Amino acid sequence: MFDSISIKNFRCFEDFSIDSLGRVNLVAGANNVGKTALLEAIFLLLGATNVYLVVTISAFRGIEEFKGDLTSVRGLLWSPLFPKFDSRAKIQISGSLSMSGQCNLELQLVPGTSARLALGEAAVEIGPGANGLPGQVMQLRYTDPSGETRSAEMWMDKKGVHIEPAPSQPSFPGFFLPARHRPSLQEDAERFGQLEVMEEPYDLLETLKIIEPRLKRLATIFSAGMPIIYGDIGLGRMLPLPLMGDGLGRLASLLLVIASAPHGVVLVDEIENGLHHSVLTKVWQAVGDAARRFDTQVFATTHSFEAIQAAQQAFESGESHDFRLHRLENVAGKIKAFTYDQETLAAAMKADMEVR
């Protein structure tokens, strides 16, 4: 688990740190203070040498298709990564891990040089001025807790996006559940299958009854060319989980991702999406139970006071290190984190203090 995270020169963060992290971390704050950006920074760090994740996080925000000249595409995908769009800065993201030490990620845009960029048999020149286009390369440098350093590069030309070398396997699993997207039906079914063959099965069925008390049975059925999780709620035939409402599908995806990331990290943007406020306390209890069972660290964002209140109620009788609320604020032009543990959060809410 991460004990702390520090970020320099990424999106709205010029020099930011967040300490005293728990197993389950809820990030709150006003609009445009970096809640999603914090998750993105952690996601990049989890990816180790996977420099393509800088494109992936744009897709999470809805920028999934891009056309036009290379200068415009680079400006859309790369410039917003840097504070005030100053792409001369070096992005630095570091995390302190409880058991193994420090890991560090650096990202920097540098001028491209055609000499080292060869695709197949024909060299593709994208250096400064090549074909009238300014060449840029995104360089990544990752240092793992053992001190080993690895590098990677990504560049764009008229043929697409290129990465060299291929990303290496991260040290531990990490998943991002964006607000705009959810895992595919096939991904959920595959994770459910992995759960079913565990030596000590995790009872997903009982947990999903938080949302749908009529649920009697779950099964993976191959339908329409793919595996899909179906549920039985007593209608005479089973239904795909997504047809039972967004809340049920959202909770199933979340718990399956946590179960698929043992000793890893799960990032969830706008965790309350699709969930009625009346079930949020039980949802948080389920998230906490799954996180402890699989030794997974969870980071989630919210705009909802009900989500914060429900989390405080769910964790108030649990282990003191399990839950933290981190409120992000813009203080004199810099983003700062104010952290509440379970005890201080309870006192703040009792005093009717603003914690969103």
User: Does residue 4 sit in helix, strand or coil?
Assistant: strand
Q: Is the domain of 10 the same as that of 142? A: yes
Domain boundary among 164, 193, 220: 164
The answer to whether residue 231 sits within a structural domain is yes
181 versus 131: the higher-pLDDT residue is 181
Place of tokens 């718990």: 255
Taking 70 as the threshold, does the pLDDT of residue 31 lie above it?
yes
Q: Is the domain of 140 the same as that of 266? A: no
* Alpha-carbon gap, residue 80 to 62, rounded angstroms: 14
pLDDT band at 272 (very low <50, low <70, confident <90, very high): very high
Q: Is the domain of 33 the same as that of 109? A: yes
The answer to whether residue 356 sits within a structural domain is no
Question: How does pLDDT run across 150-207, given as a tens digit for each residue?
Answer: 999 998 877 778 899 888 888 788 999 998 888 889 999 999 998 888 877 788 999 9
The mean per-residue pLDDT over the stretch 101-129 comes to 61
Q: Looking at residue 9, which CATH number applies to its domain?
A: 3.40.50
Confidence (pLDDT) at 126: 35
Question: How does pLDDT run across 309-324, given as a tens digit for each residue?
Answer: 999 999 987 665 689 9
Residues in the chain: 356
Q: Is the domain of 140 the same as that of 185? A: no
The angle, 0 to 180 degrees and rounded to 10, between the axes of the packed helices 185-196 and 246-259 is 50
The answer to whether residue 70 sits within a structural domain is yes
Share of the chain above pLDDT 70, in %: 90
Taking 90 as the threshold, does the pLDDT of residue 136 lie above it?
no
Range of the structural domain that residue 19 is part of: 2-164
The mean per-residue pLDDT over the stretch 277-284 comes to 92
Q: Is the peptide bond before 165 cis (omega within 30 degrees of 0)?
A: yes
**Using an 8 Å Cβ cutoff, are 114 and 129 in contact?**
no
Confidence (pLDDT) at 356: 66
This model's pTM is above 0.75? yes
Instruction: Give the number of domains in the chain.
Output: 2
The answer to whether residue 69 sits within a structural domain is yes
The answer to whether residue 315 sits within a structural domain is yes
Q: Is the domain of 94 the same as that of 192? A: no
Taking 70 as the threshold, does the pLDDT of residue 132 lie above it?
no
Q: Is the domain of 75 the same as that of 184? A: no
pLDDT band at 239 (very low <50, low <70, confident <90, very high): very high
The answer to whether residue 327 sits within a structural domain is no
